[in-house]
Amino acid sequence: MENDGEEFKVSASGFVSKKVGKIRDHYRIGKVLGSGAFGEVRLCLHKDTQTQRAVKVLRKNLLDDKEMDMLKNEISILKNMDHPNIVKMYEFLEDEKRIYIVTEICKGGELFDEILNRAKFDEKDGAIVMRQLLSAINYCHKKRIVHRDLKPENMLLEQDKDLEKLKIVDFGTSLSFDPDRALDEKLGTAYYIAPEVIKKNYNEKCDLWSCGVIMYILLSGEPPFNDPKADNEAIMKKVEKGKYDISKGVWKTISKEAKDLIKKLLTFKPDDRISAEEALQHPWIHDFKVEVDTDAASNALGNLKNFRGEHKLKVATASYIGSQLISKSEKEKLGKIFKALDSNGDGKLSKEEILSGYEEHFGKLLNEDEVDNLFEIVDTDKNGYIEYSEFITASMSSKKNMSEEKLTAAFKLFDSDGNGTISADELKQVLSSSGKISDKGIEEILKQADENNDGEINFAEFCNLMAEVDLNK
């Protein structure tokens, strides 16, 4: 990037914003996908890119003050989530009567329904599910977020029967936690709630108990604290005792490694309970390897190595396209590669993971200088790791994704007043929300693209700049 004395940072979360205007200005609203007490989830079509998304429609008159606070909290948390196993929020809108939350669409339904269909999972499929769940929870806990309501109903499959594309949803009861302060609000679902939550004295380890319950259900087909005739209070009394059995029936056929992990997750005392990071290194999880297409990995990692970031506006535009507009098929391929490289499952890539992954999937060694240079360019938020969206942006094909329709959508992002040009103020508005940039930096970006020197960037100038440099060369 230009040496202008400032560090330009771009974050995918900066592009998740409150949209101005009516929902139907931006989307065609389709069929109902699901409904609840406060509203419904509908299929929708993004008009600019013709991509399908899901929109949660919530009626404000049905929400009391506490529920409205929970909704605002969920939006705030989802906005900053950047993990392949956490549902992606694109934007949110509000009118007089409703609030709209637009997310990626998951057509495969709830994991709960898949459990009902299968009765129980074999250990390979169970490990596929648990690795994704634990990775998402590890990521959340590293960001000091506790979910507090993990259950198969809050885990969606992107595609029917495809267990490798799992998404965690419903962060309404989630919150930021202080590791030095205990939580005391009793909430959650009876079968999955941790004993310490019932006692109103708990920390983020409550999520790991819920993970243990989910794993138990996956492998056996029933909850550890089950009583078909009991109500929620009776179930929670069983949970409080924390006694379960993994010695009889189907458990005789389950491996000792699987049972060992369940014991470590369903450890009664939170201080003795395994963390998400530790669980991901457990042999039952760690020995499961994500398989990737070697050709796709080579192409992606080649793009990653050759990514160029000299043009700030182009990098910002590519980041927006990579986080919001990339095709579902390409994102799925790149997401699988990301998971394969993410050997410790924390939802981000370290220099060590890039070094070992490049050798394994690209068949070539990188030296430390090459990796340092790669991180200098690709790590656009400068946190010392390559985040999920950063990886997608840098490893996608820039030529394929700089299409006219996607550039039109990106241009509209910057052209907030819709007058057909991007002013300095509009540039600063978008770029300062996604990163950090000075007035001098804005001036330099304008100079790069403003061919007629009128102080603004029109669509033709914007497209010319985007076409000028291939980011993968």
Closest CA to 134 of 168, 171, 104: 168
Give the pairing of strands 89-94 and 17-18: parallel
Q: How confident is the model at residue 78 (pLDDT cuts 50, 70, 90)?
A: very high
With contact defined as beta carbons under 8 Å apart, do 56 and 75 qualify? no
Q: Does 149 qualify as catalytic in the annotation? A: yes
Would you identify the CATH topology of the domain 13-103?
Phosphorylase Kinase; domain 1 (3.30.200)
Would you identify the CATH topology of the domain 111-286?
Transferase(Phosphotransferase); domain 1 (1.10.510)
Give the pairing of strands 421-422 and 457-458: antiparallel
With contact defined as beta carbons under 8 Å apart, do 42 and 143 qualify? no
What amino acid occupies position 126?
G
pLDDT score of 253 more than 80: yes
What amino acid occupies position 256?
K
Q: How far apart are CA 222 and CA 74, in angstroms?
A: 30
pLDDT in tens, 206-216: 999 999 999 99
With contact defined as beta carbons under 8 Å apart, do 188 and 148 qualify? yes
Of the CATH numbers 1.10.3720.10, 1.10.1040.10, 3.30.70.260, 1.10.238.10, which one belongs to the domain with range 292-468? 1.10.238.10
Q: Which of 25, 48, 149, 346 is catalytic?
A: 149
pLDDT in tens, 96-148: 899 999 999 998 999 999 999 998 899 999 999 999 999 999 999 999 999 99
pLDDT in tens, 225-247: 987 777 888 899 999 999 999 99
Domain borders along the chain are 13-103, 111-286, 292-468
pLDDT score of 298 more than 60: yes
